[in-house]
Amino acid sequence: MIRHSLLKFLPKNYLSLLIGKLAKLESPRFLIQLAINYFIKCYKINLEEIEKPPSDYTCLNEFFTRNLACGAREISAGLVSPVDGKITQFGQIKNTTLIQAKGIDYTLDELLIDPELAKHFKDGFFITIYLAPYNYHHIHTPIDGEIVESIHVPGKLWNVDAWSIENIKKLFVVNERVISVLKSQETGYIAVVKVGATGVGSISVEFDDVKSNVGAFNYFKKPIIKHYDQQLLFKKGQKLGTFNLGSTVILLMQKQFYPKYNLQSGEVRLGDRLGDYS
């Protein structure tokens, strides 16, 4: 566990802040363009999917958070993936327990902080999707619904790569997260849990001014839970939020959700069908 010991003492929150600030620099222009071009080459970015030419982006973060070209993703029927990424875990929530990796689990209460909200997902279903640095970084709504609650849980910013998931206990409940809760008559409650990570400068949402990752003492700040009186209606596939760099989304559904019969771990794209409701 040498790697864990080294990472433990790394100032991950400050480092992530610094990375976020560097990624937003707009000069010197030639270096910014070199960095964008290197990123494209390194990660084999499909330029046909992006909204505008690489030369039009003013900074690396703007390219990281690039929009897709019109028609690049088709939104399927049923509940859909809110992101491009890789499904790493999925399954039924056993009472209130979710699986992080083999032999490592965590609970709804730990993840959501709000015990009343956690009750809705008892014996429900969860899907964990990892976003790599090269993925499209906006998060969209998986179903039509109304935003009824938002939770910001300050925390640490451990990496969320495969090694970390398999070796760091309670990783998803130690890291900072921003949770958006949707509700509709057809689907009940759905939680879109956006988990921060090392290098994620910030997490933002379209309907509130959440400010994530405020530095090394972020871990000691209290969670903020908001309930909304005004109607915040979102259509399926509408942009919900953004990762400034990559991370992980955990979807929580109530027990009337049925995953599609061939749901499996592996690559998934925004709009791909994940399942249906009874």
Are 265 and 88 in contact by the 8 Å Cβ rule? The answer is yes
Provide the strand spans (E) within 53-201: 79-80, 85-92, 97-101, 104-107, 125-130, 138-140, 145-153, 177-184, 188-195
State the pLDDT at residue 206.
Answer: 95
Q: Is there a catalytic annotation at residue 247?
A: yes
State the pLDDT at residue 168.
Answer: 86
Among candidate residues 187, 162, 164, the one with its CA nearest the CA of residue 174: 164
CA distance 254 to 124: 4
Amino acid letter, residue 265: S
Average pLDDT value for residue range 121-130: 96
State the pLDDT at residue 61.
Answer: 85
Helix (H, G, I), strand (E, B) or coil at 188: strand
pLDDT-based confidence at 156, cuts 50/70/90? confident
CA distance 109 to 95: 11
Per DSSP, 155 falls in state -
* 180 has pLDDT over 70: yes
Q: Which of 120, 138, 140, 152 is catalytic?
A: 140
State the pLDDT at residue 89.
Answer: 94
Q: Is there a catalytic annotation at residue 137?
A: no
CA distance 263 to 261: 6
Q: Which of 137, 202, 247, 272 is catalytic?
A: 247
Q: Which of 84, 137, 164, 212 is catalytic?
A: 84
Q: Which residues contact 238 (CB under 8 A, 6 or more apart)?
A: 140, 141
State the pLDDT at residue 2.
Answer: 45
Q: What angle do CA 174, 112, 157 make, to 5 degrees?
A: 25
Helices (H) and strands (E) in the chain, counts: 8, 17
Question: How far from 194 is each of 45, 153, 202, 278, CA to CA, in Å?
Answer: 23, 10, 11, 26
Amino acid letter, residue 65: T
Are 83 and 135 in contact by the 8 Å Cβ rule? The answer is yes
Looking at 46-50, 145-149, 218-222, which range is the least confident one?
218-222
State the pLDDT at residue 214.
Answer: 67
Among candidate residues 100, 134, 117, 81, the one with its CA nearest the CA of residue 259: 81
Q: Is there a catalytic annotation at residue 123?
A: no
pLDDT tens per residue across span 2-54: 455 555 555 555 555 666 666 777 788 899 999 899 989 999 999 999 999 99
State the pLDDT at residue 218.
Answer: 61
CA distance 247 to 160: 7
Q: Which residues of 198-214 are buried (b: 16+ CB within 10 A; e: fewer)?
A: bbbbbbbbbebebebbe
* 85 has pLDDT over 70: yes
pLDDT-based confidence at 195, cuts 50/70/90? very high
Of residues 143 and 245, more confidently modeled? 143
Evaluated on CA atoms 167, 130, 227, 142, the torsion sign reads negative
